[in-house]
Structure 1
Amino acid sequence: MRKSRKLASKLGPPPDSDPANQQSKHRRVFDHLLASIQSGELKPGDRLPSEAELGKLFNSSRITVAKAVHDLQRMGLVTRRPGAGTHVMTEDRPTGRTFGLLIPQLGLTEIFEPICHGMMRTHFARPDALLWGNSSVSAQDSTKAAEQMVQSFISQKVAGVFFAPLELTSDKDAANRRIGRALDRAQIPFVLLDRCYLPYPERSPHDLVGVDNRRAGYIATSHLLELGARRLVFFGEEFAANTVDARITGFHESLRFHGIKPSWEPTWRGSPQDEAFVHRMVNETRPDGIVCANDLTAARLMQVLIGLGIRIPEDIRIIGMDDVRYASLLPVPLTTIHQDCAGIGAVAMATMLERLEHPELPIRDIMVPVRLVVRRSCGAHLQQKQSHSESK
């Protein structure tokens, strides 16, 4: 009990107790505990303060605290034992293992670099080593490079592989299946990053760590609708990962919930750099808002729309997904859905280690929470100006 109280004093007070903060109390408790575990402030084996102590520390109900702790447990970061309290997961495991990073499009998709850094920085990874594959190939060459990396990892007898399946190539599904079969034949466990390698509704027999993409699509779409947009379009590239399909599902669910029945084609798949295609999409749908599959698509689409003389957000509101580093630096700072990439990396490493120790565990989908980041591209500031002028 004395140690638990000492940890409570070390944890608090929370960094932001302003009630105007957009984060829910649950989110503040979860984020603060997660950061304390990832930084090593809460070490393996440490007992967390009791729910009552955490409730006082964060000025939250026990139900709110219990939900935050339960989310950490689902992510494999803490363990709860009746009568013994909640403890940070221990590291009772062999040391010095080597894991492979099978991320063939690492240099093409920005979320994976911070995910990998999250793996390396978490205390769960020490003293294990990570083998990075080649990230300098183009999307067209990534299939061949990925299959070469698999054979290299197998020959080096790595302890496990973190696999982000191929996308944006017409042969991605067949190539991903071959990679999965090769690792299974070699009896090398692997954890999927961001997405499954089988097309929905199939599900591979391997753990997956990512975000709830359906929910992300719903949140992004609802935000634009709540700002007054009514003619919404979802824009993504062809042959994208099945995470985009999930985001499209959330997009349509939000439209239905808000009573929007499109008389236009609401889903467009193509290159955001194809000016003729973008021009046709704008002419045929007359959108007042666009939900983009990711921030890269949003950035490229924004450039083309501006070149066509379309004002953002005055004419068309835009929202992206991922919250990559350059999102706030675009010509119009991008509203987006933030992924905790470092958190995904840390949880992926914890999931791998637990899988190695307990291979009999059921297969898991572990979803790290997302949050909305509001910037100028969605036009929220226009709404605020209008409300201010009406109140005068």
Structure 2
Amino acid sequence: MRRKQLDIYESLKEDIVNGVYRNGSLLPSEETLAKQYSVSRPTIAKIYNQLQTKGYIHKKRGAGSQVIHDNVRSKYTVGLLLPGSGESEIFTIINDQILKLSKRNELNCLWEGARASNAEIRKSQIEQDCANYITQRVDGILFSPLERLPEADEINLRIFNKITSANIPLVLIDRGVKPQPDVGGFDVIWIDNFLAGSTMAQHLIKNGCEMINFFFRPNSGNSVDLRLSGIRDEALKNHLKFTDENIYCGDPSDIDYIKTIKIEKGKTGIICANDSTAALLLSSLEKIDVKITSDCLICGFDNMKYSQHLKYPLTSYIQPCEEMASISIELAIRRIKNNNHIPMTVNLMGKIIERESTIFHL
């Protein structure tokens, strides 16, 4: 019973702090709340006495229990689960921008993990960080699901379920969770990946490509699936053949696998799921004597810093990382204040940075 009493107290306190019960309003009568929670009236009386002692309400005989808290929470604590900050520059930008903006938005951001480039290290860190955040009862969590591990989907779903079971407000950044969870109550912010894929395909077709291939690495996030859908849609709209034969999933440094890619000289464009894949593929294609800008064109996503310094400066689709960080904070605060909000999916627009890798020199 004491555990239930504590839960009721915490629930009422959160409702007062988050403005569900506003300053000056009356809480439900002790009798009403006792029936609602299936507890005794004296139990509710003790909870109201505790809320009064802590300065949240004022009990007045014959007038009820009035909220005297100003509904302004001094600071929320948000845990960051962004394992990709060790893998891609975009997460480093997002992570740093969130930490910067948190100071302006009354947020205390917790970030436990080092920027590990090793996927196995990221896996162990993210599970431990999640457990720590739940133990600390953070007010919300910003989570970018793991990818490029065979068990990534299982881990992501496990983490997702732990967070939602703990009733901690959750915002997903850049990627969703596979398979799509049935439970609601979380928001997603990413670029419009379907449109991004379509835009890149359109760019290659405009530059003379009559065959479009898509290359990605195993165990990629579901954002890659959406990019593939956009590429397929654009290719078919332009009456180009696009089947499973145009889709390649493998290691871009595996020369034997790279030799299986079908390339019609002077007509082929290859869209890679990200710049790191494209950079490795560029090197592998050169090793098998495929000439970039004469035999084929190639592009990627994320506009990594090194993209413009490759032998063939890489055309890339840049993500609005600072905007993603800013909106993720807004979504987190919104959901912390009311975790029953209808879930939102925010699709942001990026843009192509055109470079030499997508210009034919025949």
Whether the TM-score (by the shorter chain) exceeds 0.5 is: yes
Aligned 8 A contact 2:266 2:294 in 1: no
- 1:129 corresponds in structure 2 to 108
Match of 1:118 in 2: 97
Partner of residue 94, structure 1: 73
Identity %: 29
Deviations for 1:341-370, whole angstroms, at most 9, x for unmatched residues? Answer: 111011100111111123332100011211
Residue 133 (structure 2) aligned to one of 148, 153, 157:
153
With structure 2 as the length reference, what TM-score do the two structures score? 0.75
1:107 to 86, 106, 111: 86
Alpha-carbon contact 1:321-1:337 (below 8 Å) kept: yes
Q: Give, in whole Å, the separation in 1 of the partners of 2:133 and 2:198.
A: 38
- The aligned counterpart of 1:325 is 305
2:209–2:266 Cα contact (<8 Å) kept: no
- Larger mean Cα displacement after TM superposition, 326-335 or 342-351: 326-335
SS at match of 1:290: strand
- The equivalent position to 2:328 in structure 1, one of 348, 369, 372, is 348
Alpha-carbon separation, structure 2, partners of 1:234 and 1:176: 25
Report the Cα distance in structure 2 between the residues aligned to 1:176 and 1:267, rounded to whole angstroms: 25
* Whole-angstrom CA distance in 1 between matches of 2:102 and 2:72: 13
Q: Please give the per-residue CA displacement for 1:211-238, whole angstroms capped at 9, x wherever unaligned.
A: 1101100000111011110121100001
Output the amino acid matched with 1:221.
A
Residue aligned with 1:265, SS: helix
* 1:82-107 Cα distance to aligned partner (Å, 9 max, x none): xxxxxxxxxx8523322111122320
Q: Which amino acid in the other structure matches residue 155 of structure 1?
A: T
The structure 2 residue matched to 1:215, chosen from 188, 191, 195, is 195
1:237 and 1:204 map into 2 onto residues whose CA distance is 30
Q: 1:316 aligns with which of 296, 303, 308?
A: 296
Q: Does 1:198 align with 2:182?
A: no
- C-alpha distance in 2, partners of 1:276/1:259? 31
Q: Which residue of 2 aligns with 1:50?
A: none
Corresponding pairs, count: 291
Q: Answer whether contact 1:232 1:266 (CA < 8 A) is retained.
A: yes
How far the C-alpha of 1:161 sits from its partner, in A, is: 0.8
Note closer, same or farther for the CA distance 1:151–1:252 as it changes in structure 2 (3 Å cut): same
Q: Say if 2:131 is the partner of 1:162.
A: no
In 1, Cα distance between the equivalents of 2:181 and 2:204?
Answer: 29
Question: Is 2:169–2:339's contact at 8 Å kept on the other side of the alignment?
Answer: no
The match for 2:165 is 185
Please state how far the C-alpha of 1:206 moved relative to its aligned partner: 1.1
Which SS does the other structure have where 2:83 is aligned? coil
Deviation at 1:299, TM superposition (A): 1.0
Distance 1:253 1:181 in 2: 33
- After superposition, the Cα gap between the structure-2 partners of 1:285 and 1:144, relative to the gap in structure 1 and judged at 3 Å, is farther
Provide the rounded CA distance (Å) in 1 between the counterparts of 2:144 and 2:75.
Answer: 23
Taking structure 1 as reference, are residues 294 and 257 closer, same or farther at Cα in structure 2, changes over 3 Å only? same
Deviating beyond 4 angstroms after TM superposition, the runs of 4 or more aligned structure 1 residues are 200-204, 282-287
Q: Secondary structure at the match of 1:351?
A: helix
Q: What do residues 75-126 of structure 1 show as CA deviations (whole Å, max 9, x unaligned)?
A: xxxxxxxxxxxxxxxxx85233221111223201221111112222337743
CA distance in 2, matches of 1:281, 1:112: 30
> CA separation in 2, counterparts of 1:205 and 1:284?
48
CA distance in 1, matches of 2:170, 2:244: 42
Q: 1:200, CA displacement in angstroms?
A: 5.4
Amino acid in the other structure paired with 2:135: S
The answer on 1:257 being equivalent to 2:263 is no
TM-score by length of structure 1 reads 0.69
Structure 1 residue 174: Cα displacement: 1.3
RMSD over equivalenced CA pairs, Å: 2.4
- Match for residue 59 of structure 1? none
CA contact (8 A) 2:75 2:108 kept: yes
Moved more, 194-203 or 179-188: 194-203
Please tell me the residue identity of whatever aligns with 1:133: E
Structure 2 gap ranges (5+): 1-70
Quick check: 1:206–1:364 contact (8 Å CA) kept in 2?
yes
Give 2:122's aligned residue: 142
